[in-house]
Amino acid sequence: MSQILNVAAIQMVSTPDVAENLATATALVTEAASAGAELVLLPEYFCLIGHHDHDKLRHAEAPGHGPIQATLSALARQHQLWLIGGTLPLAVDGDPSHVWNSSLVFDPQGQAVARYDKIHLFRFDDGQRRYDEAATLQAGQRPVAFNATTRSGLSLRVGLSICYDLRFPELYRQLMHPPCDLLLLPAAFTDVTGRAHWELLLRARAVENQCYMLAAGQGGLHPNGRRTWGHSMLVEPWGQISAVRPEGPGVVLGTLDLSQLQHVRSRLPALEHRVL
């Protein structure tokens, strides 16, 4: 059985137009599938980056219903791949002023098999830029991982996280019971925080958890004037960056070699040495 899995991170510069964003995502997922990717990750808010934070409230979908989820399901089924829908807004029952920022996983048959709601909500204010996700988002409560089976029959455990979660290593420790083979991070890191910390944190999470880290970011200047950092990448268990795209929409292709992951863990069994 092959120990290799081809993966892809999709980088976008999403707009306030949902239909336009879905068309862009469709084209890029198709490109990734044509290049042989079996697992594809879209960025945070791939479907919408509006002019105002509350724009996402108007496009929130009920779980299992709506054009955004229908598009994701159809793409996964059409290309027979695992598709992680970055994030999209899901309605919160009884609270029209907030949504879940949710990452949905679709299997190669187009079925939604896992959902993770972003736990850590970003707040930042440097006097020029101000963000407060709690104003429109409901925080998630639990870590989520799922098992994916490749076309060759290889099974791997995949942990989910979103953007600001990257700064909280305790979340990833929770996901390592049992250990994940791959950690996913759809993101829309700001230019200022991404420039300072993005690569540093991604490599740290990969090294300390001895697993692959696939990150798909928004990357460029958006119509609302916001600039996101991009630099979607695949990081290997020893901390090397094996593929990266600095800016602009496109596909980052990479390969997971689970025999390499096993070699790293057997040579330096740090996960077995945890005390706390």
User: Which one, of 130, 216, 127, lies nearest residue 166 by Cα?
Assistant: 216
Residue 248: Cβ within 10 Å count: 12
User: Which one, of 39, 9, 52, lies nearest residue 156 by Cα?
Assistant: 39
Instruction: Judge whether 208 counts as a catalytic residue.
Output: no
Contacts of 127 (CB under 8 A, 6+ apart): none
Annotated catalytic residue, options 118, 133, 236, 247: 118
C-alpha count within 13 angstroms, C-beta hemisphere, residue 32: 33
CA distance 173 to 255: 24
Contacts of 230-234 with C-beta under 8 Å, sequence gap 24+, read 230/11, 230/194, 231/194, 231/198, 231/199, 232/9, 232/10, 232/11, 232/43, 233/9, 233/199, 233/202, 234/7, 234/9
Helices (H) and strands (E) in the chain, counts: 7, 16
User: Which one, of 253, 217, 252, 256, lies nearest residue 237 by Cα?
Assistant: 256
Annotated catalytic residue, options 44, 61, 133, 247: 44
User: Which one, of 244, 266, 249, 141, lies nearest residue 199 by Cα?
Assistant: 244
Residue indicated by tokens 């899901």: 90
CA distance 231 to 246: 4
Instruction: Judge whether 56 counts as a catalytic residue.
Output: no
Question: Are 255 and 9 in contact, with CB atoms under 8 Å apart?
Answer: no
Annotated catalytic residue, options 38, 61, 133, 163: 163
Instruction: Enumerate the active-site residues.
Output: 44, 118, 163
